[in-house]
Structure 1
């Protein structure tokens, strides 16, 4: 009888745990509101930024809008300062962060990520006419610019040689403006963003050979919002399987960078 009671008690505890895991109500809450509010830095091309008409465009914008369409909910975008984006998520100013956010062990202590949907990395951008800096090791003693709160801050520490100075900026465009004006020697930036800036301003900048880091991008949620994260993840999985993510990728990058087999 005692054994039976122990088994029943264990099953009851397990059932309660499963119920708590599967019934947090986060997806139901968003569905009832009719909208998923997403936090982003709206100056992060080509992931999410404003075009000449002031409209939000980019890879992440297209992907999230398609997820919203499939889930039957509207997407509301909430621009925010990147260095306080996790605090803003915790404060419930939005439901998730979807803006080329690098998955790191430190961030995983604070938020719950989806599986990676893109592999990126930090690179060093220099002026096109700069003949002094030809490789990453040449940045010894350089003046480096980074976006405040971004993974570029940590990437600087992985350079082959220590820079003389690291300046933090509110966003990448401001840092690149200082680089162009010769107030910086380099800007450490996401590969995708750096290449986008270079493509739009030919003859101004170039990227030094080699990636400083290898970084997976994911969508971040509050840890308690399990149902919501799983709903988005399942939709993303279907979009990868039916080729929708590849199509969006080719639009913004000219190739499919959403295939995990190409990340190795």
Structure 2
């Protein structure tokens, strides 16, 4: 009898949780409205930015538009000030934040994230024809360039073997120009920024395997919008599984950086 009671209790608890989860109304609200409003900083290439015609484009834009297509809803982009983006989410100016948002413990206290859909962080880039440098350990004693004031500076100091020299530049493109000219051995740079730049100069540079530091990106929702988050997560999972996310990644980064097995 006790076992039967326990089994029934578990079933009731699971059913209650399922009803509560499905009953938050967040997905139904978006589905009935026929649109998902997404908040973003529209000056963050290659995740989301305006092209020469003023259109919002980028990796996140293509991914979200594909999600909307599969779910039968429109995607509406709402540019916003990044420093107040979470407050704007809870003010219901949009339904979620999809714009290369790093998952941090502090943010996890305020918003509910999807699983990471792309891994960001700091990587090291070398010339394509550089045969002597194959891994981060090979940068010991080498000349490494970074953008001044960026997280790349601290990452360069965390290399497995100390660099011979760390040179700071005003911008990443200036550092890459010195790398191409053989005045540097490597550039430490943010993953998405670096791969986007390298994709624009095919055949010139390559990234060393792995990350120096890691920062995962996720889509952020209000804590109470569980049903909506689950529906978006399910669709992203399907896009990763069928190769669609990889295709979008190769468009913007020249390679697939969405495969969790490679992180």
Give TM-score, length-normalised by structure 1. 0.69
Q: What's the counterpart of residue 26 of structure 2?
A: 26
Query: 2-side partners of 1:14 and 1:199: how far apart?
Result: 48
Aligned length: 221
The question of 1:101 aligning with 2:105 is answered: no
Structure 1's consecutive aligned runs of 4 or more residues displaced over 3 angstroms after TM superposition are: 1-15, 122-125, 133-136, 143-146, 155-161, 194-201, 209-212
Q: What's the counterpart of residue 160 of structure 1?
A: 157
Counterpart selection for 1:145 from 138, 145, 149: 149
Q: What's the counterpart of residue 181 of structure 2?
A: none
Query: 1-side partners of 2:122 and 2:83: how far apart?
Result: 17
Gaps of 5+ in 1: 126-132, 147-151, 162-174, 181-187
Q: 1:189 to 1:36 in 2, by over 3 A?
A: farther
Query: 2-side partners of 1:224 and 1:156: how far apart?
Result: 38
Question: For the Cα contact (< 8 Å) 1:48–1:56, is it kept in 2?
Answer: yes
Query: 2-side partners of 1:123 and 1:81: how far apart?
Result: 28
Aligned ranges 1:81-92 → 2 under 5 Å = 81-92=81-92
Deviation at 1:135, TM superposition (A): 3.7
Query: 2-side partners of 1:156 and 1:238: how far apart?
Result: 37
Deviation at 1:76, TM superposition (A): 0.4
Q: 1:253 to 1:157 in 2, by over 3 A?
A: closer
Give TM-score, length-normalised by structure 2. 0.69
Q: What's the counterpart of residue 15 of structure 1?
A: 15
Deviation at 1:220, TM superposition (A): 1.0
Q: RMSD in angstroms over aligned alpha carbons?
A: 3.7
Equivalent residue of 2:213, what SS?
A: coil
Question: For the Cα contact (< 8 Å) 1:123–1:189, is it kept in 2?
Answer: yes
Query: 2-side partners of 1:245 and 1:122: how far apart?
Result: 21
